[in-house]
Chains A and B, each alone.
Chain A
Amino acid sequence: MRFLDSYNKLTRSEVGILLFLLLSTYRICLLPAILSEAAGESAFYVVLAGLGIDVVVCFAALLVASQGGVEALSMPRPVKRALGGVFALYFLFKTLVRTYEVVHYCVGDLFEQATPMLLVVVFVITAGLVASKGFAGIARTGIMILLITVFLVGFAAFYAGFCGYGYNLWVLLRPHDVGKGLLYSSLWLGDGAVLAFADTRTTVKPRSQFAWGALAVAVVLVGMCFFYLNFIYTYGSAGRYVQYAFVRMLTNGDPEELGAVDWPIMLIWLMSVPLHLASQFYAGSEGVRLLLSRREHGGFIYLAGFAVAVVVAYYFLFADKDGFAALYRTDALSYVLLGLLGVVVLLGAVALRRRPKEQANER
Chain B
Amino acid sequence: MREQIKRQLQYDFGQSFDLIVVPAVVCGHDALYAYLAGLSDRNLLEQGLLIPLAAAPCCAIDTQTLAGNARSSAPLKALADIAEAEQAIANGEVVLWVEDAFFSFLLPQFDKRAVAEPPTSAVIKGPREGFGEDIGQNVTLLRRRVKDKCLVVKHLTVGRVTHTAVAVCFLSTIADSHVVDEVVRRIEAIDIDGVVDSAYVGQLITDNPNSIFTQFSTAEKPDIVTAKILEGRVAVLVDGSPMVITLPCLLIEGFQDSEDYYRGNKRTTFLRVIRLIGILLAVLLPAAYVAVQEYHYQVLPLKFLVTVVNATNGVPFSPTIEMFIVLILFEILNEASVRMPKYVGMALSIVGAVVLGETAVNAGLLSSPAVLVMALSAIGLYTTPEHIGSLGLLRFVFLVMAGLFGFVGLLICTLVMVCYVVTLTNYGAAYAGPIAPFVAVDAKDTFVKASLDKMTTRPFSIPNRNHVRMRRRDKR
A binds B: yes
- Could you list which residues of chain A lie within 8 angstroms of chain B, going by C-beta atoms? 1-4, 11, 13-14, 17, 106, 110-111, 113-114, 119, 122, 126, 129-130, 133, 136-137, 139-141, 143-145, 147-148, 151-152, 263, 267, 270-271, 274-275
A110 nearest CB neighbor, chain B only = B407
A3 nearest CB neighbor, chain B only = B425
Alpha-carbon separation in the docked complex, A111 to B411 (Å): 13
B residues near A136, Cβ cutoff 8 Å: 437
Q: Are B435 and A111 in contact (CB under 8 A)?
A: no
Alpha-carbon separation in the docked complex, A213 to B207 (Å): 38
B281 nearest CB neighbor, chain A only = A152
Of B17-25, B364-372, B387-395, B412-420, the stretch lying at the interface with chain A is B412-420
A112 nearest CB neighbor, chain B only = B295
Q: Are A4 and B411 in contact (CB under 8 A)?
A: no
Contact with A along B405-440 (1 / 0, CB 8 A): 111100110111011011101011110100111101
Question: Known: A113-B295, A113-B406. Contact between A1 and B182, CB under 8 A?
Answer: yes
20 pairs, A vs B, C-beta closer than 8 Å: A4-B423, A13-B437, A130-B416, A133-B423, A137-B422, A140-B432, A143-B435, A143-B437, A144-B418, A144-B435, A144-B436, A145-B414, A145-B418, A147-B435, A151-B277, A263-B296, A263-B298, A267-B411, A270-B411, A271-B414
Question: Known: A1-B182, A129-B416, A151-B273. Contact between A111 and B437, CB under 8 A?
Answer: no
**Given A111-B407, A147-B435: 16 more A-B contacts, CB < 8 Å:** A3-B430, A11-B438, A111-B296, A119-B408, A122-B408, A133-B419, A136-B437, A139-B437, A141-B422, A143-B437, A143-B438, A144-B422, A270-B407, A271-B411, A271-B415, A275-B415
Choice from A1, A13, A139 contacting B428 with Cβ under 8 Å: A1
Alpha-carbon separation in the docked complex, A119 to B412 (Å): 11
Alpha-carbon separation in the docked complex, A119 to B407 (Å): 12
A residues near B440, Cβ cutoff 8 Å: 13
Choice from B276, B421, B422 contacting A151 with Cβ under 8 Å: B276
Alpha-carbon separation in the docked complex, A121 to B412 (Å): 12
Q: Are A263 and B428 in contact (CB under 8 A)?
A: no
A residues near B423, Cβ cutoff 8 Å: 3-4, 133, 137, 140
Q: Which of B295, B408, B411, B419 has the most CB of A within 10 A?
A: B419
A residues near B419, Cβ cutoff 8 Å: 129-130, 133, 137, 141
- Could you list which residues of chain B lie within 8 angstroms of chain A, going by C-beta atoms? 178, 182, 207, 273, 276-277, 280, 284, 295-296, 298-299, 405-408, 411-412, 414-416, 418-419, 421-423, 425, 427-430, 432, 435-438, 440
Q: Are A1 and B207 in contact (CB under 8 A)?
A: yes
Alpha-carbon separation in the docked complex, A267 to B287 (Å): 14
B316 to chain A, nearest CB (A): 22
B residues near A147, Cβ cutoff 8 Å: 435
Q: Which DSSP category, helix, strand, loop or mixed, fits chain A's interface?
A: helix
B residues near A151, Cβ cutoff 8 Å: 273, 276-277, 280
Choice from A110, A126, A140, A275 contacting B436 with Cβ under 8 Å: A140
B residues near A113, Cβ cutoff 8 Å: 295, 406
Alpha-carbon separation in the docked complex, A351 to B80 (Å): 69
B425 nearest CB neighbor, chain A only = A3
B residues near A114, Cβ cutoff 8 Å: 405-406, 408
B residues near A2, Cβ cutoff 8 Å: 425
A residues near B412, Cβ cutoff 8 Å: 122, 126, 274
Alpha-carbon separation in the docked complex, A208 to B173 (Å): 35
Q: Are B437 and A144 in contact (CB under 8 A)?
A: no
Q: Are A3 and B428 in contact (CB under 8 A)?
A: yes
Sort A-B residue pairs by CB-CB distance and give the 3 closest, nearest first: A140-B436, A140-B422, A13-B438
Alpha-carbon separation in the docked complex, A11 to B421 (Å): 18
B393 to chain A, nearest CB (A): 19
A147 nearest CB neighbor, chain B only = B435
A residues near B276, Cβ cutoff 8 Å: 151
Q: Are B411 and A144 in contact (CB under 8 A)?
A: no
Q: Are B277 and A148 in contact (CB under 8 A)?
A: no
Q: Are A130 and B428 in contact (CB under 8 A)?
A: no
A122 nearest CB neighbor, chain B only = B412
A145 to chain B, nearest CB (A): 6
Q: Are A141 and B415 in contact (CB under 8 A)?
A: yes
